[in-house]
């Protein structure tokens, strides 16, 4: 049973190594994508986190089976015989919406609960729908559910996204796998997780090209089967440990990671005064001097500075010398960690999309509440650098996306425990 609080006593520099887990935001979509191929897929390097449990339940609710063996998930979708995903699961995890594309591709129809808002703002799904409408999907909303149908079948099309939305790009690719002919998606999201989805689909027999760039081509209606695939490392988890060591000081090495996917973050950490050395599958960060403020941090789609790193990098800079401006361009409401950081002595002012962080001499431990996944990780990060004890409540948010965060930090020398 997971504990309810994380308790951190700050002030100890971190030292040692962490093996980085597989990417949550890739693994979730690969599990959904397995719905396309009627057979078993073995997905390796899947993180042991609660969001994966929810996605596994989604597959089981649809009639498939999911078996976990350590970090390998065996997903068998041969028995899937329904196309409805209930609100109970979608409300627990917005990413459940990624089954929409595969269900439409496989059955020509789907009924999925509308995700509604979340802790990061309204988070619409209009672009998901526009993309799939181009392929011939008709949508109808009824009592909080999206009902998708394809009265004239699915056909390849030109899909021009207004914004490179990660989820809309993925759903368009997944639906296009079931469409007759060729689909071209322009202004596609370029995140590494999209390239991982392409690799997975190609291993299942699909013909998808271009992921990692802005134009993705899918040749639909190829017979798909199960496959064996290894999930890419989690770049946001990597960034979290880097920011933790930047905040607390020390010398850490992260293994099983891909530094090229984090260039925007490692550049900013170097600007702040950290030493960052990268090799084929590792990143080492050393911080011995106090940090300094950096030029404005603007979150943008990949390869820009990731919105998922905004809170954790902010937490690292709270005691830096000078003033750093953050501009959050991706989500409407992603500063909910700020009032909690202020309770720890941080000097942060927010106005709309902008947050201005003035470095302070000292942070002090406090009782704080996590309101979302990355914001929660930011509170732990700040706690590592604060004087005294920080108690973080709401850690269920952290367990959604981090495998054993307290245990890994403890192995690096942090004074951190979990309590009820």
Which positions lie near ligand EPU, rule CB under 6 A?
Answer: 25, 28, 95, 123-128, 163, 165-168, 189, 307-308, 330-332, 373-374, 401
**402 CB neighbour count, 10 Å cutoff:** 27
Contact between 290 and 362 (Cβ < 8 Å)? no
Question: 239: part of which helix (H) or strand (E)?
Answer: helix 235-248
- CB nearer ligand EPU, residue 34 or residue 291: 34
| Cβ neighbours, 10 Å, residue 298 | 17
Cis? peptide before 264, omega within 30° of 0: no
Question: Closest Cα partner for 379 from 370, 236, 12, 418?
Answer: 370
What is the DSSP track for 285-353?
A: EEE-SPPB--S-EEB-STTSB-GGGHHHHHHHTTTSBSEEEEE--S-SS--TTHHHHHHTT-EEEEETT
d(CA 414, CA 82): 47
Q: Using CA of residue 15, residue 20, residue 21, residue 26, what is the dihedral sign?
A: positive
Q: How far is the CB of 372 from ligand EPU (least distance, A)?
A: 7
Closest distance to ligand EPU from the beta carbon of 163 (Å): 6
In the complex, minimum distance from the CB of residue 139 to ligand EPU, in angstroms, rounded to a whole number: 12
CB closer to ligand EPU out of 28 and 386? 28
Closest residue to ligand EPU, Cβ-based? Answer: 167
Looking at beta carbons only, is 125 or 208 nearer to ligand EPU?
A: 125
Active site residue 118: yes
CB of 334 to ligand EPU, least distance (A): 8
Among residues 118, 202, 278, 358, the one annotated as catalytic is 118
Distance CA 54, CA 49 (A): 9
Q: Which is nearer to ligand EPU, 284 or 400 (CB)?
A: 400
Q: How far is the CB of 415 from ligand EPU (least distance, A)?
A: 26
Q: Which is nearer to ligand EPU, 168 or 370 (CB)?
A: 168
The region that residue 16 occupies, defined by phi over 0 for left and psi between -120 and 50 for alpha, beta otherwise, is left
Give the separation between CA 132 and CA 28, rounded to whole angstroms. Answer: 20
Least Cβ distance, residue 330 to ligand EPU (angstroms):
5
Side-chain-facing half-sphere of 369: CA atoms under 13 Å: 3
Q: Tell me whether residue 304 or residue 388 sits nearer to ligand EPU (CB atom).
A: 304
Provide the 3-class DSSP secondary structure of residue 168: helix
User: Catalytic positions, please?
Assistant: 118
């Amino acid at each position: 049973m997971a504990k309810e609080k994380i308790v951190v006593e700050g002030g100890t520099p971190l030292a040692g190594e962490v093996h980085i887990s597989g990417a949550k935001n890739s693994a979730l979509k690969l599990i959904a994508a397995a719905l396309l191929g009627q057979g078993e897929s073995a997905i390796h390097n899947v993180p042991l986190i609660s969001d994966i449990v929810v996605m596994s339940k989604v597959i089981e609710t649809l009639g498939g089976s999911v078996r976990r063996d350590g970090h390998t998930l065996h997903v068998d979708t041969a028995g899937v015989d329904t196309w409805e995903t209930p609100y109970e699961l979608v409300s627990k995890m917005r990413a459940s919406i990624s089954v929409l594309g595969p269900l439409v591709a496989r059955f020509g129809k789907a009924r999925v609960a509308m995700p509604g808002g979340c802790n990061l703002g309204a988070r619409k799904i209009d672009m998901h729908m526009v993309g799939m409408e181009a392929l011939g999907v008709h949508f109808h909303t009824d009592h909080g559910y999206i009902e998708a149908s394809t009265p004239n079948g699915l056909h390849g099309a030109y899909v021009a996204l207004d914004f490179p939305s990660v989820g809309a790009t993925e759903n368009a690719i997944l639906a296009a796998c079931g469409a007759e002919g060729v689909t071209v998606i322009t202004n596609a999201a370029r995140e590494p997780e999209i390239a991982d989805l392409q690799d997975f689909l190609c291993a299942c027999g699909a013909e998808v090209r271009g992921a990692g760039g802005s134009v993705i081509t899918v040749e639909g209606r190829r017979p798909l089967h199960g496959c064996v695939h290894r999930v890419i490392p989690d770049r946001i988890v990597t960034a979290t440990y880097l920011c933790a060591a930047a905040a607390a000081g020390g010398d850490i090495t992260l293994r099983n990671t891909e530094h090229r996917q984090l260039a925007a973050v490692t550049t900013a950490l170097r600007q702040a005064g950290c030493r960052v050395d990268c090799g084929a599958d590792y990143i080492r960060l050393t911080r011995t001097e106090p940090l300094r403020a950096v030029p404005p941090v603007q979150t943008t789609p990949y390869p820009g500075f990731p919105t998922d790193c905004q809170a954790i990098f902010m937490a690292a800079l709270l005691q830096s010398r000078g003033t750093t401006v953050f501009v959050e361009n991706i989500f409407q409401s992603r500063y909910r960690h700020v009032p909690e950081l202020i309770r720890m002595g941080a000097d942060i002012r927010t106005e709309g999309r902008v947050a201005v962080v003035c470095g302070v001499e000292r942070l002090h431990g406090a009782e704080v509440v996590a309101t979302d996944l990355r914001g929660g990780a930011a509170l732990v990060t700040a706690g590592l650098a604060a004087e005294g004890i920080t108690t973080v409540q709401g850690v269920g948010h952290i367990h959604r996306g981090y495998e054993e965060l307290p245990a890994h930090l403890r192995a690096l020398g942090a004074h951190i425990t979990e309590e009820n």
